[in-house]
Amino acid sequence: MSARSTVSVVIVMLALGLGACGDDNGGPSTAELKSQLLPASDVKGFKVERSFEWDNPTDLVVQGLLLPAETVPSDAVSEIDDAGFDAAAGEDFVVSKGSPFDGPQMKNYVIATGSNGDAKKLRDYLHSQDLKQPCFQVCSVNPSAIAVPGIPDAKGAQLLPQKEPPPNAPPPFEGYAVEFPIGDQLYFVGGGGGPGQIKKQQVLDAAKALYSRNSS
């Protein structure tokens, strides 16, 4: 299993909406949401790999939300739908030098929900997924919550390699995720890679920059 494929298991996260036109319910357009994202130039050592635009919970789950192996995709669709999903936008970052297939990845997303309460509800659901083992049956990492200073109502999680993983576990990896609401929109920043390829502080700094960009 490559470092890139293990990273895909790490990052519990989200992505994005449709075109530049407004939503049928009068919500923000995906172009408006995209303007809120953290530019890759603000994340040292990374560049944009891919941008996403989604307009329904099913596409969000299938293409963007990387859930723990035990989570039933239709359950995630229902949770996002219940949170009043309106539109979303996001980008994936890879290292700007060297091989992106073997280096760390980062992501930042914004999801428009139905209300302030819905944004917090979706934050709680995604955070609960972050705290589950990402692998099927056996795993080489342990999930735990982390503090997210400087961002009101933020919740964070980390996946760290086990000291003595089971012999049949997939290769170890390291990952961090932060979710926080601002009004009726939920923001996500995540990063992951092989052990030692990414630092918790890198993800926390990116999350704080994303918060600062949209909280004024």
pLDDT category at 7 given cuts 50, 70, 90 is very low
Question: Which of 39-53, 101-115, 150-164 shows the highest mean pLDDT?
Answer: 150-164
Rounded Cα distance between 13 and 7, Å, is 12
**pLDDT of res. 15:** 33
Please say whether the beta carbons of 122 and 186 come within 8 A.
yes
pLDDT per position as a tens digit, 160-172 = 999 998 988 999 9
Structural domain harbouring 18: 3-215
Number of domains in the chain: 1
**pLDDT of res. 12:** 37
pLDDT category at 32 given cuts 50, 70, 90 is very high
**pLDDT of res. 125:** 97
**What token pair was written down for 99?**
């091989």
Rounded Cα distance between 7 and 2, Å, is 9
pLDDT per position as a tens digit, 44-55 = 999 999 999 888
- Which is more confidently placed, 171 or 9? 171
Amino acid type, 80: I
CA distances 1 to 16, 58, 101, 172, 194, Å, are 27, 27, 12, 10, 11
**What token pair was written down for 156?**
């964070």
Strand partners, 193: 174
CATH number at residue 68: 3.40.1000.70
pLDDT category at 19 given cuts 50, 70, 90 is very low
Helix axes 73-82, 116-130, angle to 10 degrees: 160
Residue 72 makes CB contacts below 8 A (sequence gap 6+) with: none
pLDDT category at 59 given cuts 50, 70, 90 is confident
pTM: 0.86
Tell me which residue of 79, 90, 117 sits closest to 188, measured CA to CA. Answer: 90
**pLDDT of res. 17:** 30
